[in-house]
Chain A
Amino acid sequence: MSTPRLARATLVAFDLTGGPTRESMGRMLQVVSDDTTRLMAGEPTLTDTAAYTVDPAIPVVISWGLGHGFLTKLGLAAQAPPGFGPVPLAGDQAFCDGDILLHVESQSALLVSHAVRQITRTMEPFGAVRWTQHGFVDSAPDSLRTGRNLFGQIDGTANPRTPEDFDDQVWMSDGPRWSRGGTQIVVRRIEMNLPTWDSISEAEKEKSIGRRLSDGAPLTGRVESDPMDLDAKDAAGRLMIPLNAHARRATSQGTVQKFLRRPFNYDDVAPGGLSSHGMMFLAYTTNIAERFSPVLARLTAVDALNKWTTPVGSATFVIPPAWPAGSFLAQELIEG
């Protein structure tokens, strides 16, 4: 998570099938952990049907999340870490919820596809695919530079950067043992209406966020890293960053409402052959209820960007910490 985004990401949510038990989930977690370890080392899985596709020179990063449904179906709701729960969304549920999340990233679209396909086969006896989302970014693998989204904005400026920031905002340090060292993810799918966005002026685009399109600097500053001055006014006495600007509305009130944003763009084919553009908005936090939900509530109430954006999916998962050799994903939870 603290690694820069790789060019391609696929997220797959599974629903557990066939009356999951702790015993069957223990078996599932072991075999998917084995697939994960092998694919991340650039090796084929034990039952790989396209074994020669792997490439040890191109990293594949795989992470897993366990949803609210996973915990409740196994009678483990009490094991949910503090602040974890669904972030509901009204309307079509096609991109909502899911018991288990598989998240694969790589610079290679082929390797993402390969890993997802092999792991999905491994999952078959245990779960059915609920939804799949694909995303892309333009960031180079070894750079921390903030990429641009489909609105043409520099996105990711006000993000945690230092290990201390990550320990504070992203990695859980208390709560149930199995989840310590892990994080909580919110997966929001947000449609972006490009035709209407494209029809407005650059000035209006910049006001809607409070930052310049050219370099991401606040409208009150010189460079991207300058802090916003929320009180600054122009010669006519008007706020330079309007009250409904996205960055003003989203910025933390106090020290708690901070989290990592790691969005991916999507450009899919919608029914009828139209294109569907948007953002697979991924937020990582120690505590969804305390850190994320208040910000979302503020933005849902008032945000200039809402004119061009529509959330169409919402799902949350606990991402357990990486497992040590000889162990497997969430072993402490399932055997505890």
Chain B
Amino acid sequence: MTKKFRIVSTALAAIALALTATLSGCASAPAEPSVTATDVWIRAIPDLDEQTMTGLFGNFTNNTDTEIKILGGTIDASIADEILDAHEVVMDDAGEMVMQEAVGGIPIPANGQVELKMGGYHVMLWNLKAPLEVGQKVKVILNFSDGSSLPIEAVVRSTETEGEHYHESEGEHHHGTPTPATSMSN
């Protein structure tokens, strides 16, 4: 009995946490924001000599009756390049997983959800200025096609490290430029 109760209360605690996170993200807006987010995390980059870019992942819910797209966002320039891009990983004709701009943004269906996850949709952070270590909290603002934006605190988490790097191809340019030659394997 005790055990069951403990588990239920942990679940409730987790829900309460998620709610606080969402609410604190929009302290000034009285109405529910058009998009809410949970479980937002950024892949750790402990060593800038290995790579300087990473992705943001999480669950996004569209609280409106029309499709909304995640266009990208901004981050404090002391952490990375200020502009964040909406990206996706797709398999090219050669069977390689490649990362490219999500043209027009990442769609969140009306009254639906989208999950940004490894090997799929993500929001790209470029040119990190300092390592991102597991457990660190990072503030970002995401922008949506309905003109709204959402401040989010993402937690830095590590993933399977070996063979799972984002590789930037030579001479690549980002920020709105499709980057089909940038590959990510996992």
Contacts and interface: CB of A to CB of B under 8 A. Distances in A.
Given A41-B7, A41-B11, A46-B39, A27 B135 contact: yes
Interface string A34-57: 100110111100110100000000
Contact of A59 (B7, B41, B44): B7
B136 A27 contact: yes
Interface residues of A, number: 31
20 contacts: A3-B2, A27-B134, A27-B135, A27-B136, A30-B135, A30-B155, A31-B134, A31-B157, A37-B13, A37-B14, A40-B10, A46-B39, A47-B157, A59-B7, A121-B158, A124-B158, A125-B134, A125-B158, A141-B3, A325-B14
Interface string B141-161: 000000000000001011111
Chain B's interface size range is 20 to 34
Nearest to A43: B14
A284 B48 CA distance: 44
A326 B20 contact: yes
Determine chain A's interface SS by DSSP, over half rule.
loop
A272 interface: no
A47 B41 contact: yes
Given A47-B41, A325-B13, A121 B160 contact: yes
Interface of A: 2-3, 24, 26-28, 30-31, 34, 37-38, 40-43, 46-47, 49, 59, 61, 121-122, 124-126, 141-142, 322, 324-326
B24 to A, nearest CB: 11
B155 A46 contact: yes
B120 interface: no
Contacts of A41: 7, 10-11, 14
A3 B1 CA distance: 9
A122 B14 contact: no
Contacts of A126: 134
Contacts of A59: 3-4, 7
A33 B46 CA distance: 21
In the A-B complex, the 9 residue pairs with the smallest Cβ-Cβ separation, listed nearest first, are A27-B135, A325-B13, A41-B11, A3-B3, A31-B135, A125-B134, A47-B157, A40-B10, A47-B159
B17 interface: yes
B22 to A, nearest CB: 14
Contact of B7 (A40, A121, A141): A40
A61 B133 CA distance: 28
B44 A125 contact: yes
Interface string B28-70: 0000000000010100101000000000000000000000000
A126 B157 CA distance: 12
A28 B7 contact: no
Contacts of B91: none
